[in-house]
Amino acid sequence: MTSRDRVNTAIKGKQPDRVPVWCLLSLEHIINWGTNDGRIPKTIEDLVKAECNLARRYHFDGSLVYLPGNKSGTRVDSFIGKTLTETPQGDSSHIFETADPEAWQKNIQPYQPEDFYSSHLTREILGNDQHLGGWAADGYSRALQWFPSLEDALLAMIDDPPRFKALVEYFDEQSVAWARAQIELGQLESIQISSPYAGSSFMSVEMYMQFVLPSVRKLAQAIKPVGGAAYLHTCGSISDRLETMAETDIDGMECMDPPPLGNVSLKEAKKRVGSRIFLKGNIDSVNVLLQGEDETIDKTIRKTIAEGMPDGGYILSTACSVSPLVPPERVCRLWELADQFGQY
């Protein structure tokens, strides 16, 4: 079985030859360990090469293209530098009370094949045997980020739900266009639906159903007809909403943070939703891979493999992204132990 077949089989909820391995990498991890000199990559080509270096080094069966929609030669150093060092500030000219999201709907621009050069380059470097995915934030998360602050956004959501929902729907349309283009023009195979503000620290299950679920569902339902798989990425505590999340028509779910960052038990998640969607993650990148002793790391990875692999539909991965300072040899233990203990 190729890596691609392995991931695609797990995505379908089936049993591949062994548990596939595929982690999301943080941008700083890519820079720290994927480049030759630890400096910020200047062009999109440099960034893609750094990502591919690590995907090979870690024996990943799949890779997520960090910046999937970029033309050849695009300078990314300034963008990456800002992402890493500057305070993300909302644009205070965004005034919720006078916003007209319905009028904005007309302004969504179509994408062109050349917009996805970075995805094509990743494929060229890693070859056809690798599963490649992209990502898109759900409309809800994008709406939240449109506000000057998270506090403003959450209060607007409660104060004026119809207008807030219209805003989410506008961003839904943008996200749908972006996600579909990654599959159709970028020839990627899966889309990670990034939905970070939807755990129980942020909202109740009822609020999730009202504001987030329709947004995620719309995106998931738009990705499938163009041949892509959709999986949901939500950090933190989500144990109280696993079934609700599975109702969004996603193919799978990523993160599933265990304590202390979250509250998900993989064993329990397999029982509750494992027959409906594939699962990916559950290894704490910070408290286990970065701060744990070697023995703890191996024990945790082996336990995770044992809990995730029964009946297939599981991809071995860190919960959220591999944090910046995790040494590469520790990330390698995922593949080494999957190869040893994750064979079906």
The site for another protein (CB under 8 A) is made up of 28, 86-88, 150-151, 154-155, 157-158, 200-204, 207, 240, 260-261, 286-287, 290-291, 323-325
The least distance separating another protein from the CB of residue 158, rounded to whole angstroms, comes to 5
Q: Which residues of 39-50 are buried (b: 16+ CB within 10 A; e: fewer)?
A: ebbebbbbbbbb
Alpha-carbon distance of 208 to 187, in angstroms, equals: 31
Query: Which residues have C-beta within 8 Å of that of residue 293, sequence separation ≥ 6?
Result: none
**Contact of 305 with 2, CB cutoff 8 Å:** no
Instruction: Tell me how far apart the alpha carbons of residues 176 and 305 are, in angstroms, rounded to a whole number.
Output: 33
Q: Which is nearer to another protein, 148 or 336 (CB)?
A: 148
User: Considering beta carbons, is residue 19 or 27 the nearer one to another protein?
Assistant: 27
User: CB of 262: closest distance to another protein in angstroms?
Assistant: 10
Comparison of 63 and 282: residue with beta carbon closer to another protein: 282
Q: How far is the CB of 135 from another protein (least distance, A)?
A: 20
CB of 286 to another protein, least distance (A): 5
CB closer to another protein, 73 vs 260: 260
HSE-up of 88 (CA within 13 Å, CB side)? 9
* Residue 13 C-beta: closest distance to another protein, Å: 31
In the bound state with another protein, the residue whose beta carbon lies nearer, of 184 and 324, is 324
255: left (phi over 0), alpha (psi -120 to 50) or beta: left
Give the CA angle between residues 278, 279, 282 to the nearest 5°.
Answer: 175
Minimum distance from residue 278 beta carbon to another protein (Å): 26
> What are the DSSP calls for 56-71, one per residue?
HHTT-SEEE-SS-S--
Nearer to another protein, 25 or 183 (CB): 25
